[in-house]
Structure 1
Amino acid sequence: MSKPVPSKATRPVARKAAPVSAPSNQRELTRAEEAYRRIKAAIFDFVLLPGEGFTESDMAERLGMSRTPVREALFRLELEGYVQVAFRSGWNVAPFDFRKLEELYDLRVVLECTAVDRLCAAEPMPDLGLLKATWLVPEKERLTDTAEVAALDEAFHATIVSAAGNQEMARVHSDVTDGIRIVRRLDFTKPPRIAATYEEHAKILRAILRRRGDQAKLMLRSHIEESKAEVRKITIHKLHSARPESARV
């Protein structure tokens, strides 16, 4: 026996759901993430220089937000070693730890050379078409913008490691890249370095594609060591010279 159909008067009326706004603490987290990214980018882009001091209020005004998300961002950056609490005067950008930077470069050599071994032994070799399209190009097609080439340089090395197929190795390499980014960007403030990077990357890539692992590792090590040597040349004058004219967070 079929069930009786409710009359129109007794049928439940569908109600339109009321819009749900994000909880205030979630909005603060989002703002804290924005503050974190902007302050970190300012450090990497030499807008904020090592040793430079600032207060939470000053930074909040620069970012156009309240102090709460800024404070959260600064605590996170402090844990990562990018800023320090300055006694009685707020915060300051952490000075360079030259020993740590050199150790990170040493670790980078180990990771990338291991990745080259894995790539050259892989059957079939992972697709490196994007790297070929970027670095094996005629000279007239090369990019000249320092920021773009610096980003592509990071992507070249990160792709070699990630293509090797070890996710933990790629994760560690990503952390290393983050730790040395400011030094690498200093390296790319010199136009001749851009041309050299194209030439060196092309040679390394061709050696990998031909499965000449030992040759690729030798060139890769030399390429990284040259960048590492820039660590010893960093001066306050050089940092100020790299600072953009319209320096803003």
Structure 2
Amino acid sequence: MDTLPLPAAPPTRRISTSRQVYDLLRDRIISLDLVPGAQLSRSEIALFYGVSQTPVRDALQMLETEGLVLVYPQSRTEISRIDIGQARETQFLRMSLELEVVRALAATRPQATLDRMQQLVAEQESTLDTDLGQFALLDRQFHRTMFEGAGVPNLWTLIQSRSGHIDRLRKLNLMDPGKAGTILAAHTQIVDHLRHGRIAALEDVVRRHLTGTLATVDAIRLAHSQFF
């Protein structure tokens, strides 16, 4: 008996070298491994990552568009200072979108999404006192899971494309004693309110959670003035 031919496998999506360099540099900027005011050398970056200068140039252009680097033609390229105004705009956008996301999740309460969020909370708890870098990564995964569960993952991508300044603020804020515990408590409450459909309480905790860093921005700037 003749068999039907199998469909061709979909093409594998490949990330360009420029995008890879961009992602690597952006992660180092967000983590403050590359601090505001630090100068970047295109040739040194190319050598470090083992690529030509063309993808490095393209990556720096993407970072410039996002406002994370400042390019002075024929002079220098440096990491930008944290822009509090831009951080406030991004926080406004995220608040508007994330409130709609949790309302949608509270209406449907998708079990797989809630279970994944609960798992991430447990993983965050295990890193609370040992690895703030991993804690921050799990924080982003927690919120991304909500957007994916609501069926709007591209909106999370949109937020992330504008979050460089506020993410650096959060990194500084996370160093404060008790901040990680406050984040963990908020995530625990979000999952609990979602499971029980408590929309008013859910909206309240999301608002407090997402405004926490900017509520203390003056203290952050005073303690880390070199980043602003």
- TM-score for both structures, normalised by structure 2: 0.78
Is the 1:161–1:173 Cα contact (8 Å) retained in structure 2?
no
User: C-alpha displacement at 1:158, in angstroms?
Assistant: 1.7
CA RMSD of aligned residues (A): 3.0
Match of 2:9 in 1: none
Runs (4 or more) in structure 1 with deviation over 6 Å come to none
Using a 3 Å threshold, how does the CA distance of structure 1 residues 210 and 95 change in structure 2: closer, same or farther?
A: same
Secondary structure of the structure 2 residue equivalent to 1:34 = helix
Cα separation, 1, equivalents of 2:217 and 2:167: 11
1:5 corresponds in structure 2 to none
CA contact (8 A) 1:82 1:94 kept: yes
**Aligned-partner Cα distance in 2 for 1:31–1:168:** 22
How far off is 1:202 after superposition? 0.6
Residue of 195, 211, 219 corresponding to 1:209: 195
Q: How many residue pairs end up in the alignment? A: 213
SS of corresponding position for 1:102: helix
Q: Which has the higher helix share?
A: 2
Alignment of 1:94-173 (within 5 A): 94-122=80-108, 127-135=113-121, 141=126, 143-144=128-129, 145-173=131-159
Q: Which amino acid aligns with 2:195?
A: L
Whole-angstrom distance in 1 between the partners of 2:33 and 2:222:
13
Letter in 2 for 1:212: R
Instruction: Measure the CA separation in 1 of the matches of 2:191 and 2:57.
Output: 44
Q: CA deviation at 1:167?
A: 4.4
Alignment of 1:1-249 (within 5 A): 30-122=16-108, 127-135=113-121, 141=126, 143-144=128-129, 145-177=131-163, 180-235=166-221, 238=224
Take 1:157 and 1:138, find their aligned partners in 2: how far apart are those partners? 13
- Distance between the aligned counterparts of 1:236 and 1:42, measured in 2? 23
Distance 1:237 1:57 in 2: 34
- Contact 2:82 2:168 survives alignment (8 Å): no
Deviation (angstroms), 1:197: 1.5
The AA in structure 1 aligned to 2:60 is L
How far does residue 174 in structure 1 lie from its aligned partner after superposition?
A: 3.7
Secondary structure of the residue aligned to 2:143 is: helix
CA deviation digits over 1:185-236, x for unaligned, max 9? Answer: 2222234211222112111210111100110110110111112224444448
* SS, match of residue 165 in structure 1: coil
**Cα 1:239–1:154 shift into 2, 3 Å:** farther
Aligned-pair CA distance for 1:104: 0.8
C-alpha distance in 1, partners of 2:50/2:116?
A: 39
Moved more, 168-177 or 36-45: 168-177
List gaps (5 residues or longer) in structure 1: 1-28, 242-249
Q: Could you say which structure has the larger radius of gyration?
A: 1
Give the Cα–Cα distance (whole angstroms) in 1 for the partners of residues 191 and 54 of structure 2: 47
Structure 2 unaligned regions, length at least 5: 1-14
In structure 1, the partner of 2:6 is none
Inter-CA distance 89–78: structure 2 relative to 1 (3 Å threshold): same
